[in-house]
Structure 1
Amino acid sequence: MLEHADLIVSDEDDAAVAVGEFRGLCDKLFGHAIGTLAQARPTCRRPCSCPAIRPVFLTGSGAGICPLPVANATSVPARQGCAGGRVRGNRLPDSAVVCFQTDRLDRGSDAIRRSALSSSIRPETEAMNQPRIDGLRSIELGVRDLQKSADFYRRVWALEDVSADGDTIHLRGTSRDHHVVTLRERPRASMLAVHFSAPDRAAIDALHAKAKAMGAMIDDAPSALPKSEGGGYGFRVTSPDGHPLCISADVAQHAEAIDDRSRPTKLTHVVLNSAEIEKQTAFFVDVLGFKWSDSTVMMDFVRCCSDHHSVAIARGNGPSLNHMAYEMPNIDGLMRGAGRVRKSGYEILWGVGRHGPGSNVFSYFVEPNGFVTEYTTEVDQVGDNYVGHDGKWWMEQNVFPCRWNMAGVPSPFTRKAMSGELLEEENKRCEEIMAQALGR
């Protein structure tokens, strides 16, 4: 689950030493090796006048790099209706040197490869005209026991029923969003889809046309959606890893929000495991219009609204759900909610702590099906001028595994649960029990 890191070094000999030291540090922190690290190349330290900049996702033996110009200090207002968000300043420290790849590459560097995100960051005037997703709606889960799962999400996780139809239940948080999770009874537990919002029907049509033109796998043309799911208008596209993503507009909202700080307001982010992190990140940015926020040695963070990240892609052995996160109004609400979950017999998997990228407070649990689910709050609120950082920069900030130095490193069981292995073990165990019951 660990991502290639960008190392800033002065020569090739130092690069070899740095790679070895960095691998050892990550082994110590996360319990397993990064994998094959790309060989670092000398840093270009000349002033950068590149028209477009993006983080380096090293996939070969080197990359063209240049320092990122220091952005002016700015702040952005928190998104309206977003509880618990922290406005994030956008100044890059003068002492920080961040490794970035640009469209203007050195002609003499034979080993330079273009980033997978070759068109991800465009001039703002062009980006404003691009169709894009503007929010995360909900997650759709296949569960083995519908009523047992619904009991957890109602009684323990504190969501509320919206509608039910046969083998399906939709549940809401305290915001006006129609629902934040859909449970569908299935033979195997799995993530069935992630749902996103777009501003209007015109944006849906434009996103569909763009995805189709770029060769994305699309189920069908945009159409009216079931009223039991809030209605609206949308379509479904499949990511390179095979994850169904549903994009919709004009979905019904509840007349009023619910005032209860101990309950989750919305689904705030989803983290997906992938063996091809570069392809996944490029898909979200280039096809769906997400913006890149940050990269660590573990994952890439991308956003579709003012939240620092709506989706993160974690390096893993293959496609699976790492975890889903629900936003709490504030830290007091998170602690009250986490206390309720513990009192119901579910111990905290990891936390309480505060992350590095996004600065959000976290507390992780495993729900009855084996999915990792998180209560979180105070995620940074960022604007289009937010300056992101690479894995090397984040390692130097000494914010891992927790800014507060309270949560410690994820346990082997936590890593197993987040990798999707625990879910698969539970699926196999249930299948074996069923086979024995049927005398197979």
Structure 2
Amino acid sequence: MTTAGHDTQHGTHSDLHSDLGGLPGEHPGRHRNPVIKVRDIAWLEFAKPDLRAAERFAHAFGFTTAAVAPGEVQLRGTDAGAPCVILRQGETRFLGPTFQAADAADLVRLADATGAAVRRMPESIGGAAVELVDPSGLPVRVVAGTHVLPELPAQQPLTRNEGHGVARVNGTQRPPREPAKVQRLGHVVLQSVRYQQSLDWYLEHLGLIVSDFLFFDGQRHRGSTMSFIRCDRGDEPADHHTLAMTLGPRNRYVHSAYQVADLDALAAGGQHLLDEGYQRSWGIGRHIQGSQVFDYWRDPDGFLVEHFSDGDMFDCSLEPGWAPMTASGLAQWGPPATRDFLGVAPGRESAAELRSMIRALREDNEWDLERLRGLMKVARS
């Protein structure tokens, strides 16, 4: 456990669940002179073979359809802004994330630094974009000037009598069992065989900064194997992580997370999803890194998606925390992480991961036998 004096001196968020911060020579968690600093994550894109089934799940999960075109469905939350998710007709796969630039000048700066072009977006989205590819081969888009969807009526948090505080008198709590209205896209988690290289790419090109590093137990000398990364908005607080990255035997989407009003919205929305026959992967609980109350679900195509509420918000002053990666360290309270969530339940996903573990050992990347042993130790923890 760390002392309050250490936190005050170095500006870390070290506590019961985190080490004393970085050691001399370890990754600082930010680039000294990034090309730009993105404001937020804008949307994610997925290819799916059955858009009608995908849209049905999306409505049960709490999205609203913003627009439909041949081979495309745009899904949104209640917050004003861009759609959260764009679904495209095609073979099942994750197509990549889009980030929001601070302004159009940042697109020019990013294009000049990378040799990319600034291109107009389709009229249904508006604005302009720079399209890049990260070191894992994933398409990454940065946009500015896109159309702003108007705010929709939002699900309101319940008025709570907490402790001895009385805010509700002569009233009852009857949260309906209905979809938890998604407010916004919070973050995406990606796995890469080139984790360190990819991490540095996002910090340099998009100006993201690390909130927390995790490392395989006994392997801290080799550096981190997961990072929770936030936008650098200066003194304005940002989500604990907008992007999380982890080292693994193949490049893949892990999950994405969408904010809802409060615990009751999350829990009642989960009951609605169960009533509709959908699969809960893991939940309900509260995370350690990020502190979110969480609930994870599998959509009809096997993608993992999360409802969350009450996440941490950090400004630019906090330095990264460091902690060992363990399965038991994924939550402060809640049920144990399931085999499905950990990706070790029998099925298509775990089979693909197992095949990739062997294949990746023969290729030029950051995956090796020591890292494989570290990951197996995490699964057993």
Question: What one-letter code is carried by the residue in structure 2 that aligns with 1:205?
Answer: V
Equivalent in the alignment of 1:167:
71
Helix, strand or coil: the match of 2:271? helix
CA offset digits 1:230-285 (Å, max 9, x no partner): 20111111111111111101111123332125311111000001122111111111
Question: In 2, distance between residues paired with 1:389 and 1:153?
Answer: 35
**Could you tell me the percent identity over the aligned residues?**
24
Find the counterpart in structure 2 of residue 322 from structure 1: 254
Q: Which amino acid aligns with 1:249?
A: A
CA distance, structure 1, for counterparts of residue 76 and residue 346 of structure 2: 27
In structure 1, the partner of 2:92 is 189
Q: Distance in 2 between matches of 1:246 and 1:311?
A: 14
Residue by residue over 1:9-43, the C-alpha shift from the partner in whole angstroms, topping out at 9 and shown as x without a partner, is xxxxxxxxxxxxxxxxxxxxxxxxxxxxxxxxxxx
User: In the alignment, which of 140, 143, 151 is matched to residue 245 of structure 1?
Assistant: 140
Question: Contact 2:130 / 2:142 at 8 angstroms: preserved in 1?
Answer: yes
Say which SS state the counterpart of residue 245 (structure 1) adopts. strand
Structure 2 distance, partners of 1:355, 1:73, is 26
- CA deviation map 1:84-128 (0-9, x unaligned): xxxxx95546996334243xxxxxxxxxxxx6x689343xxx67x
Match of 2:112 in 1: 209
- State the match for 2:161 in structure 1: none
Once the 2 structures are TM-superposed, how far is the Cα of residue 401 of structure 1 from its aligned partner? Answer: 3.2
Distance, in Å, in 2 between the alignment partners of 1:304 and 1:97 is 23
Asked if residue 254 in structure 1 is aligned to residue 186 in structure 2, the reply is no
Unaligned runs of 5+ in 2: 157-179, 216-224, 233-237, 353-381
1:375 and 1:91, CA in 2 relative to 1: closer, same or farther beyond 3 A?
Answer: closer
Q: How has the CA–CA distance of structure 1 residues 166 and 420 changed in structure 2, closer, same or farther, with 3 Å as cutoff?
A: farther
Tell me the CA shift for residue 326 of structure 1. 0.8
* 2-structure distance, mates of 1:210, 1:300: 25
Residue 331 (structure 2) aligns with: 402
- Normalised to the residue count of structure 1, the TM-score between the two structures is 0.65
Aligned residue in 2 for 1:301: 228
Q: Greater Rg, structure 1 or structure 2?
A: 1
Aligned residue type for 2:342: R
Q: CA deviation at 1:385?
A: 0.8
Whole-angstrom CA distance in 2 between matches of 1:357 and 1:100: 19
Superposed displacement of residue 391, structure 1: 2.4
TM-score normalised per structure 2: 0.74
For 1:70, give the aligned amino acid: H
Supply the RMSD in Å over aligned alpha carbons.
Answer: 3.1
Match for residue 231 of structure 1?
Answer: 126
Report the CA distance shift for 1:224/1:419 in structure 2 as closer, same or farther (over 3 A): farther
Aligned to 2:199: 281
Which of these residues, 136, 142, 147, is aligned with residue 52 of structure 2?
147
Residue by residue over 1:33-79, the C-alpha shift from the partner in whole angstroms, topping out at 9 and shown as x without a partner, is xxxxxxxxxxxxxxxxxxxxxxxxxxxxxxxxxxxx934389xxxxx
Distance 2:314 2:184 in 1: 18
AA aligned opposite 1:303: R
Contact 1:222/1:234 (<8 A) preserved = yes
Match of 1:100 among 23, 31, 36: 23
SS in structure 2 opposite 1:242?
Answer: coil
- Which position in structure 2 is the counterpart of 1:53? none
**What are structure 1's unaligned runs of at least 5 residues?**
1-68, 75-88, 103-114, 213-219, 426-440
Per the TM alignment, residue 337 of structure 1 is displaced from its structure 2 partner at its CA by 1.9
Q: Per the alignment, do residues 206 and 418 of structure 1 end up closer, same or farther by CA in structure 2, a change over 3 Å counting? A: farther
1:177-200 per-position Cα deviation (integer Å, ceiling 9, x unaligned): 2311111110x2000121110111
Partners of 1:293 and 1:303 within 8 A in 2? yes
1:137 is the counterpart of 2:55: no
